[in-house]
Amino acid sequence: MPDPSTPTTPSAPEVSSAAVVTPFESAGLPNSPQPTDPKRGKGKFIVAVALILVLAGAGGAAYWWYTQRPVAQKTPTSTPTPVATELEKPLQEVDTTMGDLDTSLGNVDPALGDKQGDLSE
């Protein structure tokens, strides 16, 4: 008989292991990871590495092509000016000056002043 003065620790209620349902099980999944085939994972890894290497190589090749490509020559937008001969060029310059002087001296009427301004003086 147990001593009634001695407090007794209530024992934990026994639970039947068969009655415990884990969340995995409730979801229809196994409780522990299933063993996998090691050969199958290794193959995927090799494929991924190979793919990365191929992409990196393609990128490098494209960059190399970009830096090494020949620069396109600019198409001239206007036809080149015909080069005046050493004799004709100074003559053309004199022609231009004479034309300008016709205008410039024509704008001065020495009896009246500058035609560009007001002649009210």
Partner 1 sequence: MNAKILIRNATAAFLFAAIPLSSALSVSATPAASVTAAQAQKLTNLKTKGAAEIDRRTANLGAALQKLAASTKISPANKAALTKQLQDELAGLAALKTKLAADTTLTEARVDVQSIVKDYRVYVLMLPKARLITAGDRIAASHDRLATLADKLEEKIKAQAAVGRDVTAMQASLTDLRAKLVSATTKLTGISDKLLALQPTDYNANHALLVQYHDTLKAAQSDLKTARDDARSIIVALKAAK
Residues binding partner 1 (CB under 8 A) = 86-88, 90-91, 93-95, 97-98, 100-102, 104-105, 107-108, 110-114, 116-121
Which of helix, strand or coil describes residue 99? helix
Question: Helices then strands (H, E): number in the chain?
Answer: 3, 2
Amino acid (1-letter code) at residue 111 = A
Residue whose CB is less far from partner 1, 21 or 98: 98
The minimum distance between CB 92 and partner 1, in angstroms, equals: 10
The minimum distance between CB 115 and partner 1, in angstroms, equals: 9
Residue whose CB is less far from partner 1, 25 or 114: 114
Residue whose CB is less far from partner 1, 3 or 86: 86
> Does residue 114 contact residue 105 with C-beta atoms inside 8 Å?
no
> Does residue 51 contact residue 44 with C-beta atoms inside 8 Å?
no
